[in-house]
């Protein structure tokens, strides 16, 4: 019908052509063009509508990611020797001599339903064991800036604590994380975060857990919470080029029969003695990170500066030499540690970083009956300088060289060298700031 | 410590108590969508652009400021097709704002409304930074803005029905002037038809499809990978047989690789704004294409 009209029109037009019809013709041409555009639009809309949705039973499988890491390490001192003054703290440095496989990390994540999403990270140790690093569910629809996490998660305190190993800027954690949080504080429990509806970033968080991770002692005889944490983060941009985040955190737990082995004592018992501590542990921390890139463009160069400080006070009863004398008396100490690091991307895909670490083992107040047994002041300041270069051919792969001068142990200066690869396969989640 | 937390809390509550603005609160992932939203909503919206044209949209940090801005957004306007996958999921999760969750009316992906190009037939990271849904740089074909504007305007009306008539009128005005502009640009760009060009990153298939120049090579050996000297050398040898007239890059990209090859192949480099704000003259969407075409034509001289 329309076609016939068009043909009729086409036949008619040349016959009746005259000067005034030029305008009609122009109008017609415009109409045809507009029609063409409408057809084009409809066609492209149809093409979009016809795009098939992902189908099949696998369509709802969670996102899977696998991180592979390996290192070569060369150093002079036994890595099992703890930092001087911190023999009662963990010394899990996470590296070993020669070639070794670091932790491999298998991650699964997906939305569960309109209300919840879930994340699980299984850590595969090189010796063959596997452990649950993270396994939590998170609300997605509470709104009002509220986020609730339940399960096993890395605590939100500090800056580095909830950063996964594959995203670290150095092979290992700062000394203060190694000794104060056993690398990273993992907790079983609840985390509630609230983001203020403000123009700048203001986030408050609270955690309640069983006290699974050090300094908690994973109490099994208690129905209440074994550890609590509070934190607040502030952040904003400065122009287009810089952004920052600063935070304060607080953590407290009650330690029960926390045993430390090989603790040096005044009697210089060979290999040290085993001590046990019960009491309150309170930690406060400050963290800061500043990132800079010209115009916010990290293509060529960028720089980040970060630092954290933690201070811990422990107050309670110490039992000296649990296997022998077993003398119990009061013990209280305040220890602290901090690090500062800068990482500079000097050309696309290449970065260099420098980190300085320092610990302060404090001056312990030891009850009189133990004054002749327990060392109250080690009069040594553990320090370490670390230099790092890395090359990332893509966002999924990274090769790293790290050199460190470790003076964390009195009289045992150690020059360390590491070569590392970090590769991620499969889904690659977005990184936090 | 507790006092600090208290102060923060009071400060935050004060922020809550501030009277809410009547305007539609829009969070645009890229400046081109902020500009389009501005065309369509005028003063009825308060628009925040999360990135600028001098930033590589593939590598944006999930900055705290973005989380804070997304917290109060009623509409998030993004490219989609995984362009923002390195940072947007963190923003959406941490902002704890269910109105802008994926699939909600407050979440808008422009790539849903246009015909995607370079949809890979196989997905393998060995092929570099490829996107399953196709090449995400849809903002360089001016024709794409028509269906996107329609959909975005409809979305604004859905979220802010009180101003629906206003949005419909703005859309109509935009369509009329945009269609006229497209005609003008197409006429201006006619000399570019069939012109062989080199590109630094695979960012211009939509511009190519629209203006009809011919991409004969890429400086990146694989999308997202830095050009190596060896690869550029090979490309240079290829240029002997099939010469290119110019080498194109976006404002946010490192100038070195294109300058290296341009100097040796004796062709001009052309820096394109890529988005609104990428160059001095690309101040709005019209400026973006005026400047893009002017610069390409200058490359012909």
Q: What DSSP assignment string belongs to A166-213?
A: GG-SSSS--HHHHHHHTTS-EEEEEEEEEE-SSSSEEEEEEEEE---S
Same domain, A262 and A332: yes
Asked if residue B124 lies in contact with residue B140, where contact means CB atoms within 8 angstroms, the answer is no
Same domain, A412 and A322: yes
Q: What six digits make up the tokens of A172?
A: 């290992």
Residue numbers in A near B86 (CB within 8 A): 395, 428, 430-431
Selected residue of B96, B109, B147, B178 to mutate for chain A interface (largest A Cβ count, 10 A):
B96
Cβ-defined contact of A196 to B12 (cutoff 8 Å): yes
Is it the case that residue B176 has pLDDT exceeding 60? Answer: yes
Mean of pLDDT over chain B: 91
Residue numbers in B near A37 (CB within 8 A): 146, 179
Residue numbers in A near B226 (CB within 8 A): 348-349, 393
The minimal CB distance from A44 to the residues B87, B147, B179 is found for B147
Distance of CA B279 to the CA centre of its chain: 14
pLDDT at position A7: 46
Asked if residue B66 lies in contact with residue B92, where contact means CB atoms within 8 angstroms, the answer is no
Q: What six digits make up the tokens of A397?
A: 């792969």
- Nearest CA among B232, B214, B174 for reference residue B38: B174
Asked if residue A179 lies in contact with residue A152, where contact means CB atoms within 8 angstroms, the answer is no
Helix A21-49 to helix B145-159 angle (10° resolution) is 70
Same domain, B144 and B241: no
Residue numbers in A near B90 (CB within 8 A): 430-433
Mean of pLDDT over chain A: 89
Same domain, A296 and A228: yes
Q: Which residue has the higher pLDDT, B1 or A190?
A: A190
Stated pTM of the model: 0.88
Calculate how close chain B gets to A432, using CA atoms only, in Å.
Answer: 6
Same domain, A329 and A195: yes
Same domain, B78 and B217: no
Cis check for the bond before A215: say yes or no (omega within 30 of 0): yes
The minimal CB distance from A195 to the residues B9, B71, B252 is found for B71
Q: What is the pLDDT of residues B119-155, one digit of tens each?
A: 998 888 888 888 889 999 999 999 999 999 999 999 9
- What is the average per-residue pLDDT within B105-114? 97
Helix B31-41 to helix B164-188 angle (10° resolution) is 120
Residue numbers in B near A142 (CB within 8 A): 96, 98
Distance of CA A20 to the CA centre of its chain: 76
ipTM for the predicted complex comes to 0.88
Residue numbers in B near A297 (CB within 8 A): 54-56, 252
* Of B164, B183, B202, the domain-final residue: B183
CA distance A206 to A251: 10
Residue numbers in A near B74 (CB within 8 A): none
Residue numbers in A near B4 (CB within 8 A): 232, 248
Residues in Cβ contact with A128 at an 8 Å cutoff, skipping those fewer than 6 apart = none
Same domain, A351 and A268: yes
A352-371: b (≥16 Cβ within 10 Å) or e: ebebebbbbbbebebbeebe
B87 Cβ under 8 Å from any chain A Cβ: yes
pLDDT at position B282: 96
- Nearest CA among A131, A130, A148 for reference residue A139: A148
Same domain, B55 and B174: yes
In a domain, B11, yes or no: no
In a domain, A376, yes or no: yes
Cβ-defined contact of B16 to A236 (cutoff 8 Å): no
Same domain, A92 and A167: yes
Same domain, B130 and B229: no
Same domain, B272 and B171: no
Asked if residue B271 lies in contact with residue B249, where contact means CB atoms within 8 angstroms, the answer is yes
In a domain, B12, yes or no: no
Q: Which long-range contacts (CB under 8 A, 24 or more apart) does A59-64 make?
A: A60/A110, A61/A110, A62/A108, A62/A109, A62/A110, A62/A118, A63/A107, A63/A108, A63/A109, A63/A110, A63/A426, A63/A427, A63/A429, A64/A106, A64/A107, A64/A108, A64/A426, A64/A427
Same domain, A381 and A309: yes
- What is the average per-residue pLDDT within B20-38? 90
CA distance B23 to B42: 10
pLDDT at position B218: 94
CATH label of the domain that carries residue A349: 2.40.160.10
Our count of domains for chain B comes to 2
B6 Cβ under 8 Å from any chain A Cβ: no
In a domain, B42, yes or no: yes
Cβ-defined contact of B97 to A48 (cutoff 8 Å): no
In chain B, the DSSP E strands lie at: 24-28, 45-49, 75-78, 107-109, 196-199, 214-218, 246-250, 269-272
CA distance A190 to A154: 11
Same domain, A20 and A139: no
Cβ-defined contact of A430 to B86 (cutoff 8 Å): yes
Calculate how close chain B gets to A245, using CA atoms only, in Å.
Answer: 7
Structural domain harbouring B40: 19-183
Distance of CA A172 to the CA centre of its chain: 13
CA distance B133 to B85: 12
Secondary structure tally for chain A: helices H, strands E: 3, 18
Cβ-defined contact of B64 to A250 (cutoff 8 Å): no
CA distance A171 to A93: 10
pLDDT at position A93: 85
Selected residue of B10, B68, B86 to mutate for chain A interface (largest A Cβ count, 10 A):
B68
In a domain, A59, yes or no: no
Which residues sit opposite A110 in a β-bridge? A118
Cβ-defined contact of B4 to A248 (cutoff 8 Å): yes
Which residue carries 């997304």 as its tokens?
B70
- Touching A: B residues 203-262, CB under 8 Å: 224-226, 252-254
CATH label of the domain that carries residue B233: 3.40.50.1980
CA distance B123 to A59: 16
CA distance B282 to B297: 16
Exposed/middle/buried for residue A38 (C-beta within 10 Å: 0-12, 13-18, 19+): exposed
pLDDT at position A49: 47
In a domain, B251, yes or no: yes
Cβ-defined contact of A297 to B252 (cutoff 8 Å): yes
Q: Which residue has the higher pLDDT, A36 or B215?
A: B215
pLDDT at position A16: 43
Handedness of CA B170, B173, B174, B175 (dihedral sign): positive
In a domain, A433, yes or no: no
CA distance A187 to A209: 6
Calculate how close chain B gets to A399, using CA atoms only, in Å.
Answer: 15
Confidence bin at B225 (pLDDT 50/70/90): confident
Same domain, A34 and A103: no
Cβ-defined contact of B15 to A196 (cutoff 8 Å): yes
pLDDT at position A3: 45
Cβ-defined contact of A394 to B68 (cutoff 8 Å): no
Same domain, B175 and B38: yes
CA distance A262 to A271: 5
Same domain, A127 and A256: yes
CA distance A293 to B142: 30
- What is the average per-residue pLDDT within B5-26? 59
Same domain, B178 and B195: no
pLDDT at position A23: 65
pLDDT at position B11: 52
Q: How many CB pairs under 8 A join A and B?
A: 171
In a domain, A103, yes or no: yes
pLDDT at position A22: 65
The minimal CB distance from A140 to the residues B4, B98, B128 is found for B98
* Of B183, B211, B232, the domain-final residue: B183
CA distance B167 to B154: 8
In a domain, A61, yes or no: no
pLDDT at position B223: 86
Helix A2-15 to helix A21-49 angle (10° resolution) is 150
Q: What percent of chain B has pLDDT over 70?
A: 93
Residue numbers in B near A54 (CB within 8 A): none
Is it the case that residue B187 has pLDDT exceeding 80? Answer: yes
Same domain, B167 and B215: no
In a domain, B4, yes or no: no
Same domain, A9 and A123: no
pLDDT at position B10: 54
A47's enclosing H/E stretch is helix A21-49
* Of B183, B213, B229, the domain-final residue: B183
Cα distances (Å, whole numbers) of residue A225 to A55, A156, A251, B251: 45, 17, 12, 54
Structural domain harbouring A21: 2-42
Our count of domains for chain A comes to 2
Cβ-defined contact of B61 to A349 (cutoff 8 Å): no
Same domain, B203 and B240: yes
In a domain, B9, yes or no: no
In B84-213, the DSSP E strands lie at: 107-109, 196-199
In a domain, A56, yes or no: no
Same domain, A136 and A37: no
Same domain, B276 and B239: yes
Phi/psi region, residue A218 (left: phi>0; alpha: psi -120 to 50; beta: rest), is left
Asked if residue A99 lies in contact with residue A74, where contact means CB atoms within 8 angstroms, the answer is no
Q: Which residues of chain A have pLDDT under 50?
A: 1-3, 5-18, 47, 49-50
CA distance A352 to A341: 11
């Amino acid at each position: 019908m329309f076609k016939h009209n068009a043909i009729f029109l086409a036949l008619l037009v040349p016959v009746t052509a005259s000067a005034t019809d030029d305008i009609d013709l122009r109008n017609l041409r415009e109409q045809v063009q507009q029609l063409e555009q409408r057809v084009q639009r409809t066609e492209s809309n149809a093409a979009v509508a016809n795009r098939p949705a992902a189908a099949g039973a696998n369509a709802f499988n969670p996102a899977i990611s696998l991180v592979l890491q390996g290192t070569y390490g060369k150093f002079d001192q036994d890595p099992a020797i703890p930092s001087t003054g911190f023999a009662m703290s963990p010394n899990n440095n996470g590296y070993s001599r020669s070639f070794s496989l670091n932790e491999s990390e298998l991650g699964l994540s997906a939305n569960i339903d309109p209300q919840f999403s879930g994340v699980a990270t299984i850590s595969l140790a090189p010796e063959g064991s596997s452990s649950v690093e993270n396994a939590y569910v998170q609300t997605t629809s509470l709104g009002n800036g509220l986020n609730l996490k339940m399960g096993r998660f890395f605590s939100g305190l500090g800056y580095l604590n909830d950063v996964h190993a594959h995203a670290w800027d150095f092979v290992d954690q700062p000394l203060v994380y190694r000794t104060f949080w056993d690398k990273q504080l993992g907790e079983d429990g609840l985390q509630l975060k609230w983001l203020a509806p403000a123009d700048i970033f203001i986030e408050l968080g609270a955690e309640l857990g069983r006290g699974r991770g050090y300094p908690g002692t994973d109490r099994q005889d208690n129905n209440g919470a074994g550890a609590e944490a509070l934190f607040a983060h502030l952040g904003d941009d400065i122009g287009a080029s810089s952004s920052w985040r600063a935070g304060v955190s607080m953590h407290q737990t009650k330690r029960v029969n926390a045993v430390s082995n090989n603790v040096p004592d005044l009697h210089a018992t060979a290999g040290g003695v085993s001590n046990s501590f019960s009491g309150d542990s309170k930690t406060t921390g400050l963290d800061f990170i500043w990132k800079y890139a010209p115009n916010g463009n990290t293509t060529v160069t960028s720089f980040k500066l970060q630092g954290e400080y933690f201070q811990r006070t422990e107050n309670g009863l110490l039992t000296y030499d649990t296997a022998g004398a077993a003398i119990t008396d009061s013990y209280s100490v305040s220890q602290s540690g901090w690090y500062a690091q800068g990482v500079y991307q000097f050309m696309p895909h290449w970065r260099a970083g420098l980190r300085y670490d320092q610990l302060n083992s404090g001056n312990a107040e030891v009850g009189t009956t133990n004054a002749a047994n327990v060392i109250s002041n080690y009069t040594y300041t553990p320090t370490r300088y670390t230099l790092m270069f890395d090359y990332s051919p893509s966002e999924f792969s990274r090769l790293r060289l790290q050199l460190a001068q470790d003076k964390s142990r009195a009289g045992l200066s150690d020059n360390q060298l590491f070569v590392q690869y970090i590769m991620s396969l499969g889904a690659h989640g977005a990184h936090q700031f | 410590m507790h006092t600090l937390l208290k102060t923060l809390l009071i400060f935050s509550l004060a922020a809550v108590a501030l009277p809410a603005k009547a305007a539609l609160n829009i969070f645009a992932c890229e400046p081109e969508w902020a500009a389009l939203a501005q065309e369509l909503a005028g003063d009825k919206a308060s628009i925040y652009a999360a990135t600028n044209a001098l930033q590589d949209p593939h590598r944006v940090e999930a900055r705290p400021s973005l989380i804070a801005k997304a917290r109060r957004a009623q509409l998030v306007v993004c490219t989609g097709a995984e362009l923002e996958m390195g940072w947007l999921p963190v923003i959406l999760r941490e902002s704890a704002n269910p109105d802008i969750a994926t699939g909600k009316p407050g979440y808008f992906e422009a790539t849903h409304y246009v015909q995607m190009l370079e949809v890979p037939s196989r997905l393998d990271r060995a092929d570099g930074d490829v996107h399953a849904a196709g090449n995400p740089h849809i903002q360089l074909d001016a024709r794409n803005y028509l269906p996107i504007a329609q959909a975005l305007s409809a979305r604004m009306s859905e979220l802010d029905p009180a101003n629906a008539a206003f949005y419909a009128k703005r859309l109509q005005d935009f369509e009329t002037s945009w269609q006229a502009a497209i005609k003008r640009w197409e006429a201006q760009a006619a000399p570019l038809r069939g012109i062989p060009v080199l590109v630094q990153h695979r960012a211009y298939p939509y511009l190519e499809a629209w203006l009809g120049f011919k991409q004969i090579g890429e400086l990146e050996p694989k999308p997202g990978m830095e050009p190596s000297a060896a690869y550029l050398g090979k490309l240079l040898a290829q240029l002997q047989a099939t010469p290119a007239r110019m080498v194109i890059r976006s404002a946010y990209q490192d100038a070195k690789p294109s300058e290296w090859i341009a100097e040796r192949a004796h062709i001009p480099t052309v820096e394109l704004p890529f988005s609104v704000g990428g160059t001095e003259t690309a101040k709005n969407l019209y400026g973006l294409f005026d400047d893009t075409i002017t610069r390409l034509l200058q490359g012909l001289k």
